[in-house]
Amino acid sequence: MPYPLSMPSKIMLTGGTSGIGAEMLTMLLAAGHEVIVVARRASELEPQAGMHPYDCDLADAQAVTAMMASVSQTHEDITVLINNAALQYAVPLTAEEFDPVMMDAEVMINLIAPALITHALLPGLRQHGGRAAVVNISSGLAFFPKQQTALYCATKAAIHSFSQSLRYQLEEDGVGVIEAILPLVDTPMTHGRGSGKISASAAAKAILDGIGRGQPEIYIGKAKLIPYLTRLMPSLGRKILRGS
């Protein structure tokens, strides 16, 4: 049974205009895949063979639903979905500048939009069992949250749980559900924060390599320590990540 990406595929990628998503887009196109790339300004990307841009504000549920109706009509043969788009506000809930609108956007982009997009694509993905996969980009913060970004960490913990449950649901259909657990990556979202980051290119390559192996959980860089910390030294994990 072939793994996802083992042959030219049609892939849907959210958040493909910057950071890890932009790197994955470049790599996927270079490998001969077709990519439906979704972002707020996807149409501003330089046109490339095999790329199909869709503009969508993933913080707007109605916009996501409308976009997926269009995608489903035009691209029935998508075999891999990569839920990559994410939003993080480094503003604690106790801060005066915290705005409930920020809360809504974080939850929508990081959790609800991936669920809506996944649901819309499931009929087609189930027809391609064995080659099909849903890939959710998560974080070590799903396991050990940090102090400044309570809501972001909560959404990543939710994506971790969502991935596990969806994996159970799709087992009999042969659709893989893959979770990529990232360390701190050098992207526009993490600009000016933290040290010891890995490059967006390195993260993208590790994700795609893991998808190609059909690996259910892809721990990348320092995140490879997460399984050991959760089992053997959870207090140390909390201490390390709390102020990251």
pLDDT in tens, the chain (244 residues): 456 788 888 999 999 999 999 999 999 999 999 999 999 999 999 999 999 999 999 999 999 999 999 999 999 999 999 999 999 988 888 888 888 888 999 999 999 999 999 999 999 999 997 889 999 999 999 998 887 889 999 999 999 999 999 999 999 999 999 999 999 887 666 655 656 679 999 999 999 999 999 899 999 998 888 877 677 766 765 666 666 6
Which CATH superfamily, name and number, covers 10-242?
A: NAD(P)-binding Rossmann-like Domain (3.40.50.720)
**First vs last Cα of the chain: how many Å apart?**
41
Report the alpha-carbon distance of residue 35 to residue 15 in Å, rounded: 12
Question: What pLDDT is recorded for position 1?
Answer: 43
**C-beta of residue 159 within 8 angstroms of C-beta of residue 110:** yes
Question: What pLDDT is recorded for position 188?
Answer: 65
What DSSP designation does 93 have? T
- Strands 133-139 and 176-182, by their bridges, are parallel
**Domain range annotation of the chain:** 10-242
pTM attached to this predicted model: 0.91
Tokens read off for 179: 């979770």
Question: What pLDDT is recorded for position 195?
Answer: 61
Question: What pLDDT is recorded for position 217?
Answer: 96
Question: What pLDDT is recorded for position 53?
Answer: 97
C-beta atoms surrounding 56 within 10 Å: 24
With residue 39 as reference, give the H or E element that holds it: strand 34-39
